[in-house]
Amino acid sequence: MEIMQVTGSLVCTQRVGGLKHWNLRVLRTAKGKLNVAVDPVGASPGNWVFTASGSAARFACGDPDTYTDLTIGGIIDFWEPDG
């Protein structure tokens, strides 16, 4: 798991069937790298979230047939980032 910050949404009008109709969010790591994650929890820009990656990401979204390797597992209510 990794903590990241939501920077925005990603809209795709055409996608493979394995992504279904999941919301997609753009996340930024602590080092500034951008990632795209499936969002089953409804995170908003500015939210800090924790993520599941790899094969665990498919199970974290509730459907192991989803094509994802990064899923938002939850929205962090309180956290003071270092730095």
Q: What is the rounded distance in angstroms from the CA atom of residue 56 to the CA atom of residue 77?
A: 23
Condensed to tens digits (0 to 9), the pLDDT of residues 16-40 reads 887 888 899 999 998 999 999 999 9
Domain annotation covers residue 83 = no
Spatial contact of 7 and 27, defined as CB atoms under 8 Å apart: yes
Residue 53 lies in a domain: yes
For residue 77, with 0-12 CB atoms within 10 Å meaning exposed, 13-18 middle and 19 or more buried, which class applies? exposed
In a domain, 80, yes or no: no
Task: Please tell me the total count of domains within the chain.
Answer: 1
Q: Which domain holds residue 7?
A: 2-75
Residue 61 lies in a domain: yes
In a domain, 66, yes or no: yes
CATH of the domain at 11: 2.40.50.220
Mean pLDDT (the chain) is: 91
Asked if residue 82 is part of any domain, the answer here is no
Q: How far apart are CA 70 and CA 57, in angstroms?
A: 5
The model's pTM is 0.89
